[in-house]
Chains A and B, each alone.
Chain A
Amino acid sequence: MHIDIHERRWIIASAVMLAVFAVAVVLSALSLGIRLPGREPRSLAVAAGFDPNEGWIRQLGPQRYEVNLFAQAFFFDPGTIEIPAGSTVTFNLHSRDVLHGWKVIGTNLSMMAIPGQVGRVTYTFDEPGEYTMVCNEFCGLGHHVMAGKIIVTP
């Protein structure tokens, strides 16, 4: 099979470029710890007094919190989450009805809320400010009012 020398070089260069990108992705995942959601057990181990079917925020320790977050047409529960800067928060994301999206603008937090599944992600909020969280998956006619806030106090 005849491959022109320039085309051969182009193909090799393309493959090298893709390999470089792949390595960058692997490094960012493993050494920077930027991970994607995975499979989680459906039931949560919760402390007494915290109903796994309700939305809440509870403190686990100094600068350490857990949020049980429900996405529902057309609001988040809890809709406003207030934490001090420097806190590390674990979110458990559920849907009470249809598919929703959950994106906290200005952070790497982005996850689907799928009925029947729990999404779990942990994030440290270093910067104070008000972060808007929006639903970014069509969930019905009120989709465009579905938003909430994470307030990170200094």
Chain B
Amino acid sequence: MSTSAQAGAPPAADQSTFEIPPATKRCVMAFILVGFAHLAVGIVMGFLQGMSYMGIDLFPFVGIFDNYYQALSIHGTFNVLMFTTFFILGFLTLVTVKTLQRPLWSTGLLRVNFWLTLVGALLTDWALLTGRGTVLFTSYAPLQAHPAYYIGLALVVVGTLVLLLNLVVTYIHWRRDNPGQRTPLMAFAALTTLIMWGLATFGVVVQFVGMLIPWSLGLLEGVDPLLSRTLFWQSGHPIVYFWLLPAYISWYFMLPAQNGGKLFSESLARLAFLLFIPLSLPVGFHHQFVDPGVSEGYKALHAFITFGVFMPSMITAFTVLASLETGARSRGGQGRLGWIRRLNWSNPAVAAQLLGMIIFALGGISGLVNASFNLNLVVHNTLFVPGHFHLTVGTAVALTFMGTAYWLVPHLTGRKLWGGRLAIAQVWLWFVGMLLMSRGMTWAGLQGAPRRTFMAGATYKLPEWTSSFQLLGVGGAILTVSGVLFFVILAATLLNKARVEASEVEFPIATPLYQENVPGLLDRFAPWVVVAVLLVVMGYGPMYWQMLNDLQMTSPGFRSF
């Protein structure tokens, strides 16, 4: 490990000419396609849910799904556990290999990785689709699913850790072969993401391996619901950054190049990523603000650290926008804000990310509301919360990933993007649909409407919720149209007889605007990991100690299906 105060020299070689080995490309495509397959199913479920809010119950006609809650369980798990994980594993592999300019330590392991993760997903998918996993993606005990639900998810998590191992060893070999070199930015950010996630898995690994899997198999009589929930959310908050940071990789290190510009600040980009390691982990209690059994003092501590994790995103806002400005002005943009029109709006991948960013601002603000300690009393478990996260994971992340597919699939397969301007229409439809749906959700939530509820069958609907539900339903319908359009374009592209040359679909890599000396601390992981572990021990240790002293492994499983 380098002990110099400065990071190494910036890479001398051109990062963009390295040819990714064909076997790796195939694996990356496989991961991404499995991810999108899950998103397709998830979106169909979402449509049924949106219609329920409008009072239209389509479940009797659909047949395969018994009830709203099964569809909701599929929607959550397929979208934020399967779609995200598979896309991200493919994407992080891609950017690491491309920018380290070397094959993975073990391509064989990558293949094993894919099949292992897929088997896990299929187990959980089976449980969900056959109605044995109607526990929503949070699977809160004492609700109990079929063992396959939990075992499948555990294998998916193992899959992410296997990739972490593969990328870390690849990186160690790169370091050995490139002494005195600064780590290329995309690889650095990919490693940061997976290292943060690796630390985050502690909660769910203990929860699933120690409690939920043996309990669902009948090996454990009962579990402690509070402890189970606390372990879940210890991983459950950092997982949102596992989803977000790959989108940030695209916004920081690809988007400026797609706009003819440069990365405004390399040091701050590195700092923003690294800050997520310590700050994303000791904040899980902000999902448990109204739980009995967790002390108010520790809830407050987590609230303040959550405010802290807002900072790297504020840094990102400036650096990414400034990078965009450099590009727009180089394309002739003028005026204080007029340059915005000169961004590369006609590229659907760019439009997706720009619109995703605009919506992300709203998502961040609503996140701050959720995090604001006692303000949570107003919004907890209301529709405000889905109103928030459809803006963040549902748009900033999902729309960025869909937009990325518009250049990545042609780049990897050599087939031309089908449909011309339809892709741009798809992106704008998502943007409009999401604004309407999320507004309907946040509005209804502020009026007290609960989340996770089959509204078409609810006996207590308040009249003031009707308008917001209609807005929700209309937005959801528009989103469904956008989703269908995306999959039509994707399928047609995969089958397109028209070809493109690799040179026509460039792998975008942004270069920094300034050549600067980067502090050594911003090219290393160990100090950040150490601080993270200390913060987690501080922020969770005493509460876990009290919970373990009070442990009641007495709740039997309840199957609500």
Min CB gap B344→A, angstroms: 23
- Is there a chain A Cβ closer than 8 Å to B382's Cβ? yes
Q: Is the CB of A18 within 8 A of B377?
A: no
Asked whether, in the complex, the Cβ of A134 is within 8 Å of the Cβ of B319, the reply is no
Chain B 530-561, CB-CB to A under 8 Å as 1, else 0, gives 00000000000000001000101011001011
8 contacts between A and B (CB under 8 A): A1-B519, A22-B304, A36-B289, A39-B292, A40-B293, A99-B140, A110-B380, A120-B292
How long is the Cα–Cα vector from A71 to B294 in the complex, in angstroms? 19
CB distance from B199 to the nearest CB of A (A): 24
Chain A residues within an 8 Å CB radius of B452:
136-138, 143
Distance A132 CA – B382 CA, assembled complex (angstroms): 14
Known contacts A2-B516, A3-B265, A144 near B307 by CB under 8 Å: no
Nearest CB to that of B554 among chain A residues? A116
**Residues 1 to 48 of chain A near chain B (Cβ within 8 Å):** 1-4, 6-7, 10-11, 14-15, 18, 21-22, 25, 28-29, 34-40, 42
Query: How many residues on chain B are close to A (CB under 8 Å)?
Result: 80
Chain B residues closer than 8 Å to A99, beta-carbon distance = 140-143, 225, 229
Complex contact B143–A1 (CB within 8 A):
no
The answer, among A15, A21, A98, for a CB contact under 8 Å with B558, is: A98
A93 vs B454: C-alpha distance when bound (angstroms):
24
Binding site for A on B (CB under 8 A): 67-69, 72, 134, 136, 140-143, 224-226, 229, 264-265, 267-268, 288-297, 299-300, 303-304, 307-308, 310-311, 314-315, 317-319, 322, 368, 372-378, 380-382, 447-448, 450-455, 457-460, 462, 514, 516-519, 522, 546, 550, 552, 554-555, 558, 560-561
Pairwise interchain contact B457-A118, C-beta atoms closer than 8 A: no
Chain A residues with a Cβ under 8 A of chain B: 1-4, 6-7, 10-11, 14-15, 18, 21-22, 25, 28-29, 34-40, 42, 73, 93, 97-99, 101, 103, 105-106, 108-112, 114-120, 132, 134-141, 143-145, 147
Given contacts A103-B450, A144-B454, contact A7 B561 (CB under 8 A): no
3 pairs of A and B residues whose beta carbons are closest in the complex: A140-B560, A119-B292, A105-B448
Q: Quick check: A36 and B69 within 8 Å, CB to CB?
A: no
In the complex with contacts A36-B299, A116-B224, A10-B69 CB distance below 8 A: no
Which B residues touch A135, using CB under 8 A?
Answer: 450
Chain A residues whose C-beta falls within 8 Å of the C-beta of B314 in the assembled complex: 10-11, 14
A35 adjacent to B311 (CB under 8 Å):
no
A115 touching B142 by the CB < 8 A rule?
Answer: yes
Smallest CB gap from A34: residue in B: B374
Q: How long is the Cα–Cα vector from A23 to B293 in the complex, in angstroms?
A: 25
**Known: A7-B319, A114-B291, A132-B460. Is A25-B375 also a contact (CB below 8 A)?**
yes
CA distance A114 to B452 in the complex (A): 17
Number of A-B contacts (CB under 8 A): 206
In this complex, what residue of B is CB-closest to A145?
B459
The answer to whether B558 and A140 touch across the interface, beta carbons within 8 angstroms, is: yes
In the complex, A68→B407 CA distance in Å?
Answer: 60
Chain A nearest CB from B34 CB (Å) reads 27
Assembly CA distance A117 to B519 (angstroms): 49
Our pick among A6, A112, A115 for the contact of B291 (Cβ within 8 Å) is A112
Please tell me if the beta carbons of B382 and A37 are within 8 angstroms of each other in the complex.
no
Query: Min CB distance, B522 to chain A, in Å?
Result: 8
Q: How far is the CA of A151 from the CA of B532 in the complex (A)?
A: 49
Contact between chains at A132 and B318 (CB < 8 Å):
no
Q: Is the CB of B265 within 8 A of A39?
A: no
A141 and B374 contact, CB distance less than 8 A: no
A35 to chain B, nearest CB (A): 6
Contact (Cβ within 8 A) B311 A18 = yes
Most chain-B Cβ atoms within 10 A of its Cβ — which of A11, A14, A109, A116?
A116
- CB <8 Å contact, B448 and A116: no
Which of these, B292, B450, B554, contacts A40 with CB under 8 Å? B292
Centre residue among A106, A117, A138 by max chain B CB count within 10 A: A138
Known: A1-B519, A11-B318. A34 touches B377 (CB 8 A): yes
CA distance A140 to B68 in the complex (A): 11
> Across the interface, do B318 and A10 meet the contact criterion of CB distance under 8 Å?
yes
Taking A7-B268, A36-B299, A134-B460 as contacts, is the C-beta distance between A29 and B374 under 8 angstroms?
Answer: yes
| Minimum C-beta distance from B48 to chain A (A) | 15
Chain B residue at smallest Cβ distance from A25: B373
CB contact between B453 and one of A22, A38, A109, A143 (< 8 Å): that residue: A143
Q: Is the CB of B311 within 8 A of A136?
A: no
Among candidates B72, B143, B453, residue contacting A136 with C-beta atoms closer than 8 Å: B453
A19 to B252, CA, bound (A): 27
CA distance A1 to B552 in the complex (A): 52
A residues near B293, Cβ cutoff 8 Å: 39-40, 114, 116-117
B293 to chain A, nearest CB (A): 4
Q: Contact between B307 and A18 (Cβ–Cβ < 8 Å)?
A: yes
Chain A nearest CB, measured from B339 CB (Å): 15
Report Cα–Cα, A37/B382, bound state, in Å: 18
**Interfacial chain A residues near B558, Cβ < 8 Å:** 73, 97-98, 140
Q: Which residue of B lies closest to A13 (CB)?
A: B314
Distance of A115 from chain B, by nearest CB (Å): 5
Q: Which residues of A contact B288 (CB under 8 A)?
A: 112
Contacts of B143 in A (CB 8 A): 98-99, 138-140
> In the docked arrangement, what's the CA distance between A122 and B550, Å?
24
